[in-house]
Structure 1
Amino acid sequence: MNEHLEESIGEMKRIDHLIFVSLKYSRTVDVIKSVIERIISSYDFMILALLEHAKEKKIITEYPQSNPLRCELLLKHFRDDEMITKNLEFYALMRRVTRAEYGKREEYRRHVTMIADIDGNNFEVDIDKLNEYFENIKEFFRYLKEKIENE
């Protein structure tokens, strides 16, 4: 298996622990922010795996070091692949969320929520959304793994 995909698996294990153990007991926005950072890190590894695959298949000759430029390159070459496009857009959104000013609601309660201000709009992240994001990232991982191994 691709080493970047293995690194991504490690990040997903950490996400799983943060959601189902740390967040369960602490219920703080800091843990939510940490989960989002791990999601981004997992996507970074999956993006690298896809870039390496594209390089091996001679779709691209080289790729940039900057994450936004990597995304642009992948969007350019895989624009017809809805799964990749959707996940790269989600990745960009998560990066914006981590950089945005944020507030807290119902900290130390079941419905703890991180409220990020993105372009004047509130973007809310709670435990249920984190679970949804985690399921999406696992689905994308399975898709990429199959794509890389079968091509």
Structure 2
Amino acid sequence: MRQYLEEAKEELKRVDHLVFVSLKYTRTVDVIKSVLERLIAAYEFIVMELLEYIKEQKKVQVFPQSPVERVGVIQNAFPDHLELNETLNFYLKLRKLSRAPYGKREEFRRHVTMIATLENEEVVEVDIDRVKEYYDKTKEFVGKVYVMIEGEKE
């Protein structure tokens, strides 16, 4: 098993606990923010794993330092892989969402919502259901990258 893939799976275990235990009982925006940070960490490990994979195939020699540049290298290496590129763009959006100024609505209730305003004035509302979607999307992506790199189901 590859190191970065393993680290990504460990992050997903932490996210699972945050979503299905912590968020369920606390219902605070701080937990939503923590979930987003953990998802970003999982994506960062996957990006590093993909860069290692590309390096093994001799498509790239040096890894860029910036996450945006790293995603660009991966997207250039796999231009025909639309789902991969869409998910990496989602990762970049998560990063923007995490850094954006945010507000809170209905904290300690079922419909707790983090309301963030991105640089382009786009307002994004992240509630419990959206967090679960993000988690499911990330979990599915990690599985697909595993299959892509290892060539077998986990």
TM bucket (normalised to shorter chain) is: over 0.9
| 8 Å Cα contact 1:29/1:113 also seen in 2 | yes
Q: Which runs of 5+ in 1 are unaligned?
A: none
- For the residue of structure 1 that corresponds to 2:125, the secondary structure is strand
TM-score for both structures, normalised by structure 2: 0.95
- For the residue of structure 1 that corresponds to 2:42, the secondary structure is helix
Q: CA RMSD in A?
A: 1.1
**Aligned counterpart, 1:16:** 16
Corresponding position: 1:121 with 2:129? no
**Aligned counterpart, 1:146:** 147
CA deviation profile, 1:16-72 (whole Å, cap 9, x unmatched): 000011101110000000000000000000000000001011111121122111011
**Aligned counterpart, 1:35:** 35
CA deviation profile, 1:116-136 (whole Å, cap 9, x unmatched): 001212101111011111111
Alignment of 1:1-150 (within 5 A): 1-118=1-118, 119-150=120-151
| 8 Å Cα contact 1:27/1:109 also seen in 2 | yes
Distance 1:87 1:71 in 2: 10
The count of corresponding residues between Structure 1 and Structure 2 is: 151
Distance 1:138 1:83 in 2: 14
CA deviation profile, 1:75-114 (whole Å, cap 9, x unmatched): 1111210121011100000000011110111100001000
Moved over 3 A (4+): none
TM-score for both structures, normalised by structure 1: 0.97
